[in-house]
Amino acid sequence: MYVAVKGGETAIAHSLDLIADRRRGDRDLAELSLEQIDQQLGLAVDRVMTEGSCYDRRLAALAIKQARGDLIEAIFLLRAYRTTLPRFGDSEPLDTARMVAERRISAAFKDVPGGQVLGPTYDYTHRLLDFSLAVAADRPAAPTAPADTAHGLPHVGDILAREGLLEPSPAASSERPADLTRQPLGFPADRPLRLQNLARGDEGFLLALGYSTQRGYGNNHPFVGEIRYGHVPVAFVPEELGFAIEIAEIDVTECDMVNQFAGSHDVPPQFTRGYGLAFGHAERKAIAMALVDRALRARELAEGADSPAQDEEFVLAHSDNVEASGFVQHLKLPHYVDFQSELVVVRALRAEVEARQQAAEEHAALAQAAE
């Protein structure tokens, strides 16, 4: 005799115990500390902060630990926490010209004022597994040079813009950009909103879309005008003071893309811009974001917009990996009632088709017999 299965509540409780146990793993091994994650898995922390829209290395490290290394899960944790935080206001826009850069390169020019500073990068490593990393050992510190390139690096883009070769940066607006964490996304979306969406967007998704433009799906002839990575101050104007104070210093990666544009009858040809920004050291994300930003400007720049990366609704509606992960994985939830409805329909239709075929056969048999 079938008995309805109950016990969902107990099952959930046990499930939570199980994942906590698995997360800890072998008790003979040292438990990961947040400091270790922050330091030694720093690029993961950078990504979680960027897509979690929250600059806090410790919280991001905690999220990674709690998610046992699943970065999208960690991003979800951080965002959910962020929702509960009280807000004091908005900072002033970051002035990346004031960045103390650890790394700054331009692909468009052989040399630039302030110099090409290679800094820390995986770009020229040989991807050979280094087995010396398999055991803990003393690692030598890197020698440092005086930071003479560190201050006041002018943006390469500004130099081009002064000549009129590159469209100027959009003028600063006094209007506060809409906040995607507070308001729903609407279309058409203006550029500040699109950039916000892309900054929070999944790196893999943007990478694929950016890649697609390079392969011909909406190519916009990109050149890296500049990539810079380093720390910038965050300025805030408290109401009581009425002037700006620096409340923090954060690491960001910025990418200025330079793209081709055909001039029109009235406008002499100019290069156009794409822009990418990420927390921490995240060049792949910043470049991909700049490629997609530029692709989404197709409508504004009166270019044909028929590739996926140029399709605003397609890109912006699907870039959020927390939304995507939730909906994709929700398919695991019980759907047996909807499925039951479908079963009823399919069975009825099958019965009708079979009945028709049966009738047709009988008719044919009769017709044959009659001959």
Residue span 153-172 as binding mask against another protein, x where in contact by CB under 8 A, dash where not: --------------------
Q: In the structure encoding, which two tokens stand for residue 291, read together? A: 């490629």
User: Of the two residues 97 and 353, which places its CB atom closer to another protein in the complex?
Assistant: 353
Separation of alpha carbons 90 and 70, rounded Å = 30
For residue 185, state whether it binds another protein (rule: CB under 8 A): yes
Site for another protein in 244-283 (CB under 8 A): 264-266
Interface residue with another protein, options 23, 68, 82, 191 (CB under 8 A): 82
d(CA 224, CA 109): 9
For another protein, the closer of residues 9 and 28 by Cβ is 9
Q: Which of residues 20 and 245 has its CB atom nearest to another protein in the complex?
A: 20
144 forms part of the interface with another protein (CB under 8 A): no
Distance of CA 348 to the CA centre of its chain: 46
Burial class (CB in 10 A: 0-12, 13-18, 19+), 142: exposed
Site membership for another protein, residue 340 (CB under 8 A): yes
Interface stretch with another protein, choices 168-176, 199-207, 228-236, 337-345 (CB under 8 A)? 337-345
What H or E segment, with its residue span, contains residue 314?
A: helix 312-318
- The only residue of 18, 43, 80, 364 in contact with another protein, by rule CB under 8 A: 80
- DSSP-derived 3-state class of residue 77: helix
Question: Which range binds another protein by CB under 8 A, 130-138, 167-175, 176-184, 234-242?
Answer: 176-184
Q: Could you count the other beta carbons within 10 Å of the beta carbon of residue 201?
A: 25
Binding to another protein by residue 243, rule CB under 8 A?
no
Q: How far is the CB of 345 from another protein (least distance, A)?
A: 5
CA distances from 122 to 126, 127, 208 (A): 9, 9, 20
Token reading at 54: 């929250």
The window from 212-220, 242-250, 338-346, 362-370 that contacts another protein (CB under 8 A) reads 338-346
Rule CB under 8 A: say whether 328 interacts with another protein.
Answer: yes
Taking CB under 8 A as the criterion, the residue among 11, 18, 359, 360 binding another protein is 11
Nearest CA among 109, 105, 115 for reference residue 149: 115
247, containing H or E segment? strand 245-259
338 binding another protein? (CB under 8 A): yes
Bridge partners, residue 256, by sequence = 226, 275
Burial of 209 (0-12, 13-18, 19+ CB in 10 A): buried
> Any idea which residue has 């070769």 for tokens?
165
What is the binding site for another protein (CB under 8 A)?
A: 2, 4, 6-9, 11-13, 16-17, 20, 76, 79-80, 82-84, 181-188, 264-266, 313, 317, 322-323, 325-330, 333-338, 340-345, 348-349, 352
